[in-house]
Amino acid sequence: MKMMSDGTIPEHHPHCLGCGSENPAGMQLRTRLDGDVVRGEVTFDRRQQGAPGIAHGGAVATVLDDALGSVLVVLETPAVTANLNVSFRAPTLLHQPLHVEARVVERDGRKLHLSARLMDEQYTTLAEATALFLVVDVVHFTQGGEALPEAWSTWGSSTT
Ligand SMILES: CCCCC/C=C\C/C=C\C/C=C\C/C=C\CCCC(=O)SCCNC(=O)CCNC(=O)[C@H](O)C(C)(C)COP(=O)(O)OP(=O)(O)OC[C@H]1O[C@@H](n2cnc3c(N)ncnc32)[C@H](O)[C@@H]1OP(=O)(O)O
Protein backbone atom coordinates (compact mmCIF):
# COMPACT_ATOMS: atom_id res chain seq x y z
CA MET A 1 0.00 0.00 0.00
CA LYS A 2 1.30 3.38 -0.97
CA MET A 3 0.27 6.02 1.53
CA MET A 4 1.60 8.45 4.09
CA SER A 5 1.45 7.85 7.84
CA ASP A 6 -1.63 10.11 8.07
CA GLY A 7 -3.45 7.93 5.55
CA THR A 8 -3.14 10.31 2.63
CA ILE A 9 -1.97 9.08 -0.71
CA PRO A 10 1.19 10.96 -1.71
CA GLU A 11 0.72 14.22 -3.53
CA HIS A 12 -0.23 12.77 -6.75
CA HIS A 13 -1.59 13.58 -9.67
CA PRO A 14 -2.04 10.24 -10.73
CA HIS A 15 -0.24 10.69 -13.92
CA CYS A 16 2.76 11.85 -12.19
CA LEU A 17 3.19 10.23 -8.87
CA GLY A 18 6.14 12.19 -7.60
CA CYS A 19 6.38 14.77 -10.37
CA GLY A 20 3.94 17.22 -8.81
CA SER A 21 2.24 18.46 -11.94
CA GLU A 22 -1.42 19.25 -12.15
CA ASN A 23 -3.78 17.09 -14.13
CA PRO A 24 -4.75 18.08 -17.66
CA ALA A 25 -7.49 20.50 -16.70
CA GLY A 26 -5.63 22.11 -13.80
CA MET A 27 -7.59 20.36 -11.08
CA GLN A 28 -6.07 19.32 -7.82
CA LEU A 29 -7.48 16.16 -6.36
CA ARG A 30 -6.20 15.27 -2.91
CA THR A 31 -6.85 11.69 -1.94
CA ARG A 32 -6.57 9.46 1.07
CA LEU A 33 -7.28 5.83 1.79
CA ASP A 34 -10.29 4.95 3.97
CA GLY A 35 -10.44 1.18 4.34
CA ASP A 36 -10.63 -0.11 0.79
CA VAL A 37 -11.95 3.15 -0.61
CA VAL A 38 -9.96 6.07 -2.00
CA ARG A 39 -11.61 9.34 -0.96
CA GLY A 40 -10.80 12.82 -2.12
CA GLU A 41 -11.96 16.40 -2.45
CA VAL A 42 -12.00 18.65 -5.47
CA THR A 43 -13.45 22.04 -6.37
CA PHE A 44 -14.03 23.06 -9.97
CA ASP A 45 -13.39 26.61 -11.11
CA ARG A 46 -13.79 28.62 -14.32
CA ARG A 47 -11.07 26.63 -16.05
CA GLN A 48 -13.36 23.59 -15.99
CA GLN A 49 -16.52 25.45 -16.95
CA GLY A 50 -18.86 24.03 -19.56
CA ALA A 51 -22.26 25.72 -19.39
CA PRO A 52 -22.13 28.94 -17.31
CA GLY A 53 -21.41 28.07 -13.68
CA ILE A 54 -21.41 24.34 -14.38
CA ALA A 55 -18.46 21.99 -14.82
CA HIS A 56 -17.76 20.55 -18.24
CA GLY A 57 -18.59 16.84 -18.46
CA GLY A 58 -15.09 16.08 -19.70
CA ALA A 59 -13.63 17.70 -16.59
CA VAL A 60 -15.94 15.63 -14.40
CA ALA A 61 -14.82 12.50 -16.26
CA THR A 62 -11.17 13.52 -15.76
CA VAL A 63 -11.62 13.78 -12.00
CA LEU A 64 -13.32 10.41 -11.89
CA ASP A 65 -10.52 8.87 -14.01
CA ASP A 66 -7.95 10.46 -11.70
CA ALA A 67 -9.65 9.05 -8.62
CA LEU A 68 -9.66 5.65 -10.29
CA GLY A 69 -5.97 6.13 -11.03
CA SER A 70 -5.36 6.71 -7.33
CA VAL A 71 -6.60 3.18 -6.73
CA LEU A 72 -3.65 2.03 -8.86
CA VAL A 73 -1.26 3.89 -6.56
CA VAL A 74 -2.72 2.07 -3.60
CA LEU A 75 -2.49 -1.26 -5.40
CA GLU A 76 0.97 -0.33 -6.71
CA THR A 77 -0.15 -1.84 -9.97
CA PRO A 78 0.55 -0.22 -13.34
CA ALA A 79 -2.62 -0.17 -15.40
CA VAL A 80 -4.39 1.99 -17.93
CA THR A 81 -7.98 2.96 -18.52
CA ALA A 82 -9.35 0.78 -21.30
CA ASN A 83 -12.96 1.81 -20.85
CA LEU A 84 -14.59 4.59 -18.82
CA ASN A 85 -18.36 4.88 -18.56
CA VAL A 86 -19.70 8.01 -16.90
CA SER A 87 -23.29 8.75 -15.89
CA PHE A 88 -24.01 12.39 -15.15
CA ARG A 89 -26.78 12.46 -12.54
CA ALA A 90 -26.99 16.16 -11.65
CA PRO A 91 -25.24 19.39 -12.68
CA THR A 92 -21.82 19.78 -11.06
CA LEU A 93 -21.53 23.39 -9.93
CA LEU A 94 -18.31 25.38 -9.93
CA HIS A 95 -16.77 26.71 -6.69
CA GLN A 96 -18.37 24.02 -4.50
CA PRO A 97 -16.23 21.60 -2.50
CA LEU A 98 -17.03 18.13 -3.77
CA HIS A 99 -16.32 14.61 -2.55
CA VAL A 100 -14.91 11.84 -4.74
CA GLU A 101 -14.56 8.17 -3.98
CA ALA A 102 -13.16 5.23 -5.95
CA ARG A 103 -12.82 1.53 -5.31
CA VAL A 104 -12.04 -1.85 -6.79
CA VAL A 105 -15.15 -3.78 -7.70
CA GLU A 106 -13.46 -6.92 -8.99
CA ARG A 107 -10.15 -8.15 -10.36
CA ASP A 108 -10.17 -10.78 -13.08
CA GLY A 109 -6.61 -11.46 -14.24
CA ARG A 110 -5.37 -8.31 -16.01
CA LYS A 111 -8.82 -6.76 -15.81
CA LEU A 112 -9.51 -4.37 -12.97
CA HIS A 113 -13.16 -3.40 -12.69
CA LEU A 114 -13.31 -0.15 -10.74
CA SER A 115 -16.00 2.34 -9.81
CA ALA A 116 -15.98 5.98 -8.75
CA ARG A 117 -18.48 8.60 -7.65
CA LEU A 118 -18.52 12.41 -7.44
CA MET A 119 -20.78 13.90 -4.76
CA ASP A 120 -21.73 17.35 -3.53
CA GLU A 121 -21.20 18.54 0.03
CA GLN A 122 -24.36 16.73 1.17
CA TYR A 123 -23.12 13.50 -0.46
CA THR A 124 -25.72 13.63 -3.21
CA THR A 125 -24.35 11.81 -6.26
CA LEU A 126 -23.53 14.13 -9.17
CA ALA A 127 -21.75 11.64 -11.44
CA GLU A 128 -20.66 8.05 -11.26
CA ALA A 129 -18.28 5.95 -13.30
CA THR A 130 -17.52 2.35 -13.94
CA ALA A 131 -14.22 1.55 -15.57
CA LEU A 132 -12.15 -1.26 -16.94
CA PHE A 133 -8.45 -0.79 -16.31
CA LEU A 134 -6.01 -3.26 -17.84
CA VAL A 135 -2.83 -4.11 -16.03
CA VAL A 136 0.20 -3.42 -18.24
CA ASP A 137 3.91 -3.86 -17.88
CA VAL A 138 5.61 -0.66 -16.73
CA VAL A 139 7.34 -0.67 -20.14
CA HIS A 140 3.98 0.51 -21.53
CA PHE A 141 4.69 3.95 -20.07
CA THR A 142 8.10 4.29 -21.73
CA GLN A 143 6.37 4.70 -25.09
CA GLY A 144 6.14 8.44 -24.48
CA GLY A 145 9.91 8.68 -24.34
CA GLU A 146 9.90 10.32 -20.90
CA ALA A 147 11.62 9.13 -17.73
CA LEU A 148 9.24 7.38 -15.34
CA PRO A 149 8.79 8.33 -11.67
CA GLU A 150 11.30 6.50 -9.50
CA ALA A 151 8.50 5.15 -7.29
CA TRP A 152 7.13 3.11 -10.16
CA SER A 153 10.29 0.98 -10.33
CA THR A 154 9.10 -1.09 -7.38
CA TRP A 155 5.60 -1.59 -8.68
CA GLY A 156 4.45 -5.02 -9.74
CA SER A 157 4.89 -5.39 -13.45
CA SER A 158 3.34 -8.82 -13.80
CA THR A 159 0.43 -8.67 -16.20
CA THR A 160 -0.82 -12.14 -15.41
C1 LIG B 1 -1.51 8.54 -17.50
C2 LIG B 1 -1.55 7.13 -17.10
C3 LIG B 1 -0.66 6.77 -16.03
C4 LIG B 1 -1.06 5.47 -15.49
C5 LIG B 1 -0.11 5.08 -14.48
C6 LIG B 1 -0.26 3.76 -14.02
C7 LIG B 1 -0.15 3.50 -12.78
C8 LIG B 1 -0.41 4.42 -11.83
C9 LIG B 1 0.42 5.54 -11.80
C10 LIG B 1 0.04 6.53 -11.22
C11 LIG B 1 -1.26 6.46 -10.80
C12 LIG B 1 -2.11 7.09 -11.24
C13 LIG B 1 -2.89 7.42 -12.14
C14 LIG B 1 -3.05 7.43 -13.50
C15 LIG B 1 -3.58 8.71 -13.96
C16 LIG B 1 -4.79 8.91 -14.22
C17 LIG B 1 -5.65 7.86 -14.50
C18 LIG B 1 -5.84 7.92 -15.94
C19 LIG B 1 -5.35 6.69 -16.58
C20 LIG B 1 -5.26 6.94 -18.00
O21 LIG B 1 -5.72 7.94 -18.46
S22 LIG B 1 -4.49 5.82 -19.01
C23 LIG B 1 -4.56 6.65 -20.56
C24 LIG B 1 -5.74 6.25 -21.38
N25 LIG B 1 -5.67 4.88 -21.75
C26 LIG B 1 -4.83 4.45 -22.69
O27 LIG B 1 -4.05 5.16 -23.25
C28 LIG B 1 -4.94 2.98 -23.04
C29 LIG B 1 -4.70 2.79 -24.54
N30 LIG B 1 -4.96 1.39 -24.87
C31 LIG B 1 -4.00 0.46 -24.80
O32 LIG B 1 -2.84 0.73 -24.56
C33 LIG B 1 -4.45 -0.95 -25.03
O34 LIG B 1 -5.66 -1.01 -25.73
C35 LIG B 1 -4.60 -1.73 -23.68
C36 LIG B 1 -3.25 -1.80 -22.96
C37 LIG B 1 -5.65 -1.04 -22.79
C38 LIG B 1 -5.10 -3.14 -23.98
O39 LIG B 1 -4.28 -3.69 -24.98
P40 LIG B 1 -3.67 -5.15 -24.80
O41 LIG B 1 -3.11 -5.53 -26.15
O42 LIG B 1 -2.76 -5.18 -23.66
O43 LIG B 1 -4.90 -6.04 -24.42
P44 LIG B 1 -6.05 -6.66 -25.36
O45 LIG B 1 -6.52 -5.69 -26.38
O46 LIG B 1 -5.55 -7.99 -25.85
O47 LIG B 1 -7.24 -6.89 -24.34
C48 LIG B 1 -7.07 -7.74 -23.20
C49 LIG B 1 -8.47 -8.05 -22.69
O50 LIG B 1 -9.14 -6.86 -22.33
C51 LIG B 1 -10.31 -6.65 -23.15
N52 LIG B 1 -10.41 -5.23 -23.51
C53 LIG B 1 -9.43 -4.44 -23.99
N54 LIG B 1 -9.86 -3.21 -24.19
C55 LIG B 1 -11.16 -3.21 -23.82
C56 LIG B 1 -12.14 -2.21 -23.78
N57 LIG B 1 -11.89 -0.96 -24.15
N58 LIG B 1 -13.36 -2.55 -23.33
C59 LIG B 1 -13.63 -3.81 -22.92
N60 LIG B 1 -12.72 -4.80 -22.92
C61 LIG B 1 -11.50 -4.50 -23.37
C62 LIG B 1 -10.08 -7.52 -24.36
O63 LIG B 1 -11.30 -7.89 -24.94
C64 LIG B 1 -9.34 -8.70 -23.77
O65 LIG B 1 -10.28 -9.52 -23.08
P66 LIG B 1 -10.15 -11.10 -23.08
O67 LIG B 1 -8.77 -11.44 -22.58
O68 LIG B 1 -11.23 -11.58 -22.18
O69 LIG B 1 -10.32 -11.52 -24.51
| d(CA 52, ligand 1 centre) in Å | 34
Confidence of residue 15 (pLDDT cuts 50, 70, 90): very low
Q: Which domain holds residue 19?
A: 14-154
**Does residue 33 sit within a domain?**
yes
Q: pLDDT tens for residues 56-84?
A: 999 999 999 999 999 998 888 999 999 99
What is the pLDDT at residue 158?
58
Positions annotated as catalytic residues are 65
Average pLDDT, the chain: 86
Interface ipTM: 0.89
- Let me know if 133 is exposed, middle or buried by CB neighbors in 10 A (0-12, 13-18, 19+): buried
Give yes or no for a contact between 7 and 32, defined as CB atoms under 8 angstroms apart. Answer: yes
| Cβ-based neighbour number of residue 26 at 10 Å | 11
**Does residue 149 sit within a domain?**
yes
pTM here is 0.88
Q: Which amino acid is at 82?
A: A
Terminal alpha carbon distance of the chain: 20
**Does residue 5 sit within a domain?**
no
Q: What is the CATH number of the domain that holds 76?
A: 3.10.129.10
The answer, yes or no, to whether residue 11 has pLDDT greater than 90, is no
Ligand 1 touching residue 14 (CB < 6 A): yes
| d(CA 159, ligand 1 centre) in Å | 11
Closest residue (by CA) to atom 7 of ligand 1?
78
In degrees rounded to 5, what are phi and psi of residue 31?
A: -125, 155
